[in-house]
Amino acid sequence: MARVPDGCLVPTGPLAEILEAFLNRWKRDRPPTAGQFASTSTVSPILGIQWLSAESGVSESTIQNIVDRRYRGTELRIAEALVVGALERPDLFDAALEVYPNPSAPAWARAECCGGSEAAPRPPVEVLAEILRVNLSAASAGAVYA
């Protein structure tokens, strides 16, 4: 049986910025141990994405997709695992991450998003698409705009 998508999403852009800032600090604080010709250490360094994956339980490829901004939205369960679980920064949800219903999720899952509020904020792209859909349906019905 296929997994039901999370009812809530967060925009990938701000989440990617948070992860990029963490990864940049990680690289700065843990420079590579290899010299020009040979390794200067016998310990294999762990990359920031590997650490995030181990701490959050989110796969490295999923984290890389977020950092690369491959998708517009990221499921809330993944964002929470990374920001709250691994980075231990729940304050970032209030400050930087907007939560909105997942249009790909079933209606019952979307209804549970944002505290069950039917008036939960939607991303601007969804609002524009709805306005366009209304205008196109009115135009096809013969409405004339001044």
CA distance 129 to 142: 20
pLDDT in tens, 104-134: 888 888 888 766 544 445 445 555 455 555 5
Distance CA 128, CA 98 (A): 18
pTM confidence score: 0.70
Above pLDDT 70, what percent of the chain?
A: 67
- Joined together, the tokens standing for residue 16 give 């990617």
127 by Cβ neighbours in 10 Å (0-12 / 13-18 / 19+) ranks as exposed
SS3 (DSSP) at 16: helix
The two three-digit tokens of residue 12, written as one number: 């990938």
Q: Which residue has the higher pLDDT, 85 or 42?
A: 85
